[in-house]
Amino acid sequence: MGYLTDSLLTAIELIIGFDVEVRMTAWTSLYTSSCAIVLASLLGVPIGLWLGISLFRGRRLLITLLNTLMALPTVVVGLLLFGLFSRQGPLGSFGLLFTPMAMIAGQMVLATPIVANYVLAAVAGADDRIINTALTLGATRLQAALQLLREIRFGVMAAVIAGFGRVIAEVGVAMMLGGNIRGTTRTMTTAIALETSKGEFAFGLALGLVLLGVALLVNLGLNQVQQR
């Protein structure tokens, strides 16, 4: 019991004291996940919108595929991109493996289906008169789609927040593509996994608390948005 309370006290001390290691890993996590979610949104929002409003053969199949991708195991994404980025891989010459760039790419792959699915659900739940109303007022199909997006903006925000929650908390991609290099690719999750096994329990606990705090903020945000 003493071990746990001592560790907790040390952890709180580390957080309050703005410990350099804690700050650095927290920053790396937030930075890579933010970049990843921006890119995933740029890709996932149009995909969800397009799947939601167009009618074509194979649409249902694509939606099923997107649902499957939502449950993509992080280590599988890590594995596939590892193959792409490793020296012998097709993108090996860019030297991206074990850089923040590789982590961002992996997390983007993870978050895009989530963002797209949430947007798709928001489009499905939207009033089906929106597109036609915009068209009758003289909008092009693209302008009508953008107006629809404006009408479901809270659903889109929820999509982005849910995607962010997924990538900030994942460990597989960050570990396999980032490699837990101190100062560049060490994120909160990889640091917790590896530092704890090295016996730095208090340090892991401090990061765990920060991560929980971020998760709490994300969910508070999601709650706020979904109540609108």
Partner 1 sequence: MFAAIRAPSRRKELFFGVCLMATVMEMHNVQLHRGAFCLRVKQLSLASGYLYALEGENGAGKSTLLQLLALLQPPQCGSLIFDGLPVSFMPSSLQGLRRQITLLEQNPYLFSGSVRQNLAFGLKLRGVHGSEQRQRIADALAACGLQGFAHRPARELSGGESRRVALARALALQPKLLLLDEPTANLDAGQVAGLERLLVSLPQQGITVVIATHDARQPERLGGETITLSNGELKTGIFDGKRDYRPLNQIRSCSQLL
Residues that bind partner 1 (CB under 8 A): 127, 129-130, 132-141, 143, 147, 150-151
Least distance between partner 1 and beta carbon 132 (Å): 7
In the structure encoding, which two tokens stand for residue 161, read together? 């927040």
Report the residue number, 10 or 147, with the smaller CB distance to partner 1: 147
Report the residue number, 64 or 140, with the smaller CB distance to partner 1: 140
Least distance between partner 1 and beta carbon 62 (Å): 23
> What is the rounded CA–CA span in Å between residue 170 and residue 143?
36
> What is the rounded CA–CA span in Å between residue 180 and residue 45?
30
Instruction: Please give the backbone phi and psi of residue 98, each rounded to the nearest 5 degrees, phi first.
Output: 65, 35
CA-nearest of 69, 118, 114, 108 to 226 is: 118
Least distance between partner 1 and beta carbon 134 (Å): 8
DSSP 8-state class, residue 129: T
Return the number of other C-beta atoms located less than 10 Å from residue 223's C-beta.
11
Least distance between partner 1 and beta carbon 142 (Å): 10
Least distance between partner 1 and beta carbon 223 (Å): 20
Least distance between partner 1 and beta carbon 127 (Å): 6
In the structure encoding, which two tokens stand for residue 132, read together? 């036609």
Report the residue number, 84 or 139, with the smaller CB distance to partner 1: 139
The gap from C-alpha 74 to its chain's centroid, in whole angstroms, comes to 11
Report the residue number, 35 or 159, with the smaller CB distance to partner 1: 159
> What is the rounded CA–CA span in Å between residue 148 and residue 155?
11
Would you say 156 and 45 are in contact if contact means Cβ atoms under 8 Å apart? yes
DSSP 8-state class, residue 18: T
Report the residue number, 147 or 196, with the smaller CB distance to partner 1: 147
Least distance between partner 1 and beta carbon 109 (Å): 33
The type of residue at 18 is F
In the structure encoding, which two tokens stand for residue 57, read together? 């053969």
> What is the rounded CA–CA span in Å between residue 72 and residue 111?
10
Report the residue number, 59 or 150, with the smaller CB distance to partner 1: 150
Report the residue number, 4 or 137, with the smaller CB distance to partner 1: 137
